[in-house]
Amino acid sequence: MPRTSRTFGVTLLALALAAATPSALTGSASAASPTTAAAPDKAGMIAGQYIVMLKDASDRTEDMDDVLTAATAHASDMGALVRQVYRHALLGYSATMTAATAAELAKDPQVQAVQKDQKIRAMAQPVPTGVNRVDADLSPTAKIDGVDRRVNADVAVIDTGIDPNHPDLNVYRAGGKNCLSSILPPRDLNGHGTHVAGTIGALDNNTGVVGVAPGVRLWPVQVLGPTGSGTTSSVVCGIDYVTQHADEIDVVNMSLGGSGSDDRNCGLSNGDVMHRAICNSVRAGVTYAVAAGNSHADAGGTVPAAYDEVITVSALADFDGKPGRQGRATCYDDQDDTFADFSNYGPDVDLIAPGVCILSTYFANRYATMSGTSMATPHVAGGAALYRATHPTASPAAVKAALQAAGNLNWTQTGDGDNVKERLLGVGGF
């Protein structure tokens, strides 16, 4: 429950309100042959930048390091400049090259797909009763009482980074990754990632705010820059890092997205590199909570929200931390206890959580109020962390099922575009 007044930060391009314009991420071919997604130059596509997905280890007998070395050397020989190499969530690399080189690489028998890189945006807008609304204050694991006891779980925040010096956060300094720089450590210069982190696990220290899973170890994985935008290749780099540390990381929060769809084949049919990476990461035991998006449209057109392997979260407008529609709008004009008027919806949505006027931590040791499915998602990530803290061997599917089973329908179904009432997150029994 919030314990301080709010301040306002910059307008964000994450999966918060103002950033509800995701770009395309789709591929365009069958799983039987290598594919290239370089075809149409859609808004958000980055000229001359591609991601190459190599065939999985099960499809080959050579040593993977040898394959990567040979593949990247091959790319260099063809005039491509290799930028990042992926070894854990998938086998592949990102590179700068011409369209002709990309088309030629797609013909290589070792290549599964070549996808054009594109901009990715975070999902929220500067603008938290949310902890009360999901009953985190009743959780015997969270034990929210103003005493700093920390939930034993690890959550990675794939976002703009996390302020490492914020006094209300338990940032895991021995971990973390900056996918935008090979030199600099992850550091939030936007605020979006720090805000998300606070909702997940701000300390129960009688200062500032408190998160759903107070004191969890927060791993900053920076894939979005100061403006709140990034690329598919940087996001895949983040997923690759998480998968490398799958024995330590329990849950991932991804309050970001772009346009695309689920081929129901983990990206092998449409050449979706991000989907392939997430599937492999989930198989490694990591649970992913992702934002549905803020276009008030079907979430099936937004990725990673469309993927079946993740927990997709829509946003509830809640202004008083309880049901009944008695709360008065504060920072955003919407109806209390109803489906947020900006939130995406549809069959891909798994849960709903508070996402309007959420008070949380912010970069530069501050606090801010923000709205968006970006703000709803970390409530679910925090809930998943509570469950994993007491069920450390639970699979991602088991975590998802437990969260859905514990949810409730105690909210007013107004404004939901598909008229299907998702369960509202409830973690009081965790």
Average pLDDT over residues 200-216: 94
**Which residue's structure tokens are 């099936």?**
300
Flag whether pLDDT at 19 surpasses 50: no
Mean of pLDDT values over 321-348:
87
Q: Tell me which H or E stretch contains 195.
A: helix 192-201
Average pLDDT over the chain reads 85
State the catalytic residues: 159, 192, 374
Alpha carbon distance 110, 41 (integer Å): 26
First-to-last C-alpha distance (Å) of the chain: 18
Is 427 a residue whose pLDDT tops 80? yes
DSSP assignments along 133-177, one per residue: HTTGGG-TTT--SSS------EEEEEES---TT-TT--B-TT--E
Long-range (24+ apart) CB contacts under 8 A made by 183-188 are 186/161, 186/162, 186/220, 186/221, 186/222, 187/161, 187/163, 187/220, 187/222, 188/159, 188/160, 188/161, 188/162, 188/163, 188/220, 188/222, 188/363
Question: Are the C-beta atoms of residues 374 and 192 closer than 8 Å to each other?
Answer: yes
Structural domains in the chain, sorted by start:
27-117 (3.30.70.80), 125-406 (3.40.50.200)
Residue 60, pLDDT score: 53
Residue 220: pLDDT band by 50, 70, 90 thresholds?
very high
Average pLDDT over residues 382-394: 98
pLDDT in the model for residue 243: 98
What is the average per-residue pLDDT within 199-214?
94
In the chain, % of residues over pLDDT 70? 86
Work out the percent of the chain whose per-residue pLDDT is above 90.
64
Instruction: Of 68-77, 113-122, 185-194, give the range with the top mean pLDDT.
Output: 185-194
Contacts of 182 (CB under 8 A, 6+ apart): none
What pLDDT sits at residue 193?
Answer: 98
Q: What is the per-residue pLDDT across 165-196, written as a single tens digit (0 to 9) for each? A: 999 999 998 899 999 999 999 999 999 999 99
pLDDT at 128: 55
Q: Are strands 311-317 and 351-354 parallel, antiparallel or unpaired?
A: parallel
Q: What is the pLDDT of residue 191?
A: 96
> Which pLDDT band, with edges at 50, 70 and 90, does 373 fall under?
very high
